[in-house]
Structure 1
Amino acid sequence: MTERAQEAPDTAWLRSAFMGVQEELVLKLKLASSSIGHAPTIGSVNEDHWITVFRTYLPKRYEVATGFVIDSRGARSDQIDLVIYDKHFTPTLLDQQSHRYIPAEAVYAVFEAKPHFDKDYLKYAGEKAASVRKLHRTSVSIAHAGGKYAPKKPFPILAGIVAARASWADGLGKSFSGNLPTSGNNELNCGCALDHGAFDDFDGNVNVTPRDGALIYFLFRLLGRLQSIGSVPAIDWSAYAGIIDSDTL
């Protein structure tokens, strides 16, 4: 064996380990589906499994929770299964148990966790995304030793869907792509159907990866996209204070 061959990287063990994470999640979702007879409870358990996976693989600067997104004008989104938001600079508000009320300025991405991909669930996830994207977001300048950083323009909020599988015979094929919302506030940027693969549009077009290793591929692609976004805008807390000061109260 040549020296070059001896030095070739051995990634098989790492790929196997990553695929094991995916299979473990598949089993958990199947167990929830088969052992819990109450549909809302199944949904809640599945959300918790996905939240655990996201929290495990995203850095601590990001938090993941179920909740509502709110803005400084009093508007509120639909309830969102998984919200990825800034944990370092922005507190959540009006929290009730495990449900969060998250300022729109803090939000990086929103996901719906469903039993499978189909036409109705894709449409539903797009509508949930739109309820967040239409909210008002503030941004103010930040003081530093040499002066001030200009207000950061709010970035487009990412949206997606995660599930155990796709319902179509061709998986994430033509049936999927023909029903995927790809424009406007309803656009879905990424997602993962564990039994069939993952997708994202981070390179400009919708790309689909096969089943094997799809979960970790999806998470690493999402992480790379989040890194490219950088920090959230500096929230204008005076705008939220204005709600308390309002003459309408």
Structure 2
Amino acid sequence: MATKKDRIADTAWMKESFVDVQTELAIKLKRAAQSISHAGTHGAVNEDHWIDIFRSYLPNRYAVATGLVIDSLGNRSDQIDIVIFDRHFTPTLLDQQNHRYIPVEAVYAVFESKPHFDKSYIEYAGDKAASVRKLHRTSVPISHAGGTFDAKPLFSIIAGIVAAKSSWADGLGEHFLKHLPPENMEKLDCGCALEDGAFDSFDETLKVVGSEGALIYFLFRLLARLQSLGTVPAIDWAAYASVINK
């Protein structure tokens, strides 16, 4: 019969493996910072590393890409570094190479990838989130064999920021907390700074954890939140078709 010590040993390998994943990502981001001098190229490489991590740990029902988010009124968001969106029900539109236009009804979450957390980058990420959240979303009833499901209520789109580290000496402490956007369109629900920790407010109170295992904590908390949202609303394709007639 397994003892408590045995059970602890049985789970230790899992924690160590997850910490290794975080270490590997931190090394990739550090290498990019050291070897790439062009800011735009450096940023794109960092985005790709984070996108790879999201794709590795989120189920296939969630697509992850960079792109613009659009609505049926012809509005567009700012360019978003990382968009998590529905893969099954909603296609992307007007794609060119890796540049995607994603209907806002398909979007679960948006993230900005930055070299570090600081006041300007947090405000920037909040502005990007607002550019998506203010878009018009449709939701229509869904027919099924037994009748019709009501139109799904719209959930709040998750927004966050990811980076290699925090620029503040106290990490995700007092200086970080006072610069988080308030409860509005710019709110950041979660984030991860690999060297300093992770945060989220998914349970309506802000939780902050330290650096050890922060990446996997952040991903698992995000996954739990995504699960709680269920599916995206059924898009009103007639509304998008009406753009053609205008």
Residue 5 of structure 1 and its aligned partner are, at CA, apart by: 3.3
Q: Which blocks of at least 5 consecutive residues in structure 1 are unaligned? A: none
CA distance in 2 between partners of 1:157 and 1:28 (Å) = 29
Q: Which amino acid aligns with 1:177?
A: L
Instruction: Give me the identity figure in percent.
Output: 65
Q: Which amino acid aligns with 2:130?
A: A
CA distance in 2 between partners of 1:176 and 1:11 (Å) = 33
CA separation of 1:12/1:136 partners in 2, compared to 1, >3 Å: closer, same or farther?
Answer: same
Per-residue CA deviation, residues 68-120 of structure 1 (Å, 9 max, x unaligned), is 00000000000000000000000000111111100000000000000000000
Tell me which residue corresponds to 2:235.
235
Q: Which amino acid aligns with 1:66?
A: T
Kindly indicate whether the alpha-carbon contact (under 8 Å) linking 1:55 and 1:63 is maintained by their aligned counterparts in 2: yes
Kindly indicate whether the alpha-carbon contact (under 8 Å) linking 1:105 and 1:235 is maintained by their aligned counterparts in 2: yes
Classify the secondary structure of the residue corresponding to 2:185.
helix
| TM-score when normalising by structure 2 | 0.98
Instruction: Say whether 1:5 aligns with 2:4.
Output: yes
Instruction: Say whether 1:141 aligns with 2:141.
Output: yes
Tell me which residue corresponds to 1:62.
62
CA distance in 2 between partners of 1:184 and 1:36 (Å) = 36
Q: Which amino acid aligns with 1:126?
A: G
Per-residue CA deviation, residues 19-39 of structure 1 (Å, 9 max, x unaligned), is 000000000000000001111
Tell me which residue corresponds to 1:90.
90
Kindly indicate whether the alpha-carbon contact (under 8 Å) linking 1:141 and 1:234 is maintained by their aligned counterparts in 2: yes
Q: Which blocks of at least 5 consecutive residues in structure 2 are unaligned? A: none
CA distance in 2 between partners of 1:7 and 1:45 (Å) = 42
Pairs within 5 Å for 1:187-202: 187-202=187-202
Pairs within 5 Å for 1:71-150: 71-150=71-150
Pairs within 5 Å for 1:40-55: 40-55=40-55
Classify the secondary structure of the residue corresponding to 1:69.
strand
Classify the secondary structure of the residue corresponding to 2:175.
helix
Residue 4 of structure 1 and its aligned partner are, at CA, apart by: 3.9
Residue 182 of structure 1 and its aligned partner are, at CA, apart by: 2.9
Classify the secondary structure of the residue corresponding to 1:8.
helix
Which 4+ runs in 1 deviate beyond 4 A?
Answer: none
Tell me which residue corresponds to 1:214.
214
Q: Which amino acid aligns with 2:66?
A: T
Residue 7 of structure 1 and its aligned partner are, at CA, apart by: 5.6
CA distance in 2 between partners of 1:137 and 1:209 (Å) = 34
CA distance in 2 between partners of 1:211 and 1:11 (Å) = 19
Tell me which residue corresponds to 1:173.
173
Q: Which amino acid aligns with 1:5?
A: K
Q: Which amino acid aligns with 1:59?
A: P
CA separation of 1:146/1:12 partners in 2, compared to 1, >3 Å: closer, same or farther?
Answer: same
User: What do you get for the CA RMSD once the two structures are aligned?
Assistant: 1.0
Kindly indicate whether the alpha-carbon contact (under 8 Å) linking 1:104 and 1:135 is maintained by their aligned counterparts in 2: yes
CA distance in 1 between partners of 2:143 and 2:204 (Å) = 35
Kindly indicate whether the alpha-carbon contact (under 8 Å) linking 1:182 and 1:189 is maintained by their aligned counterparts in 2: no
Q: Which amino acid aligns with 1:133?
A: R
Residue 3 of structure 1 and its aligned partner are, at CA, apart by: 5.2
CA separation of 1:6/1:189 partners in 2, compared to 1, >3 Å: closer, same or farther?
Answer: closer
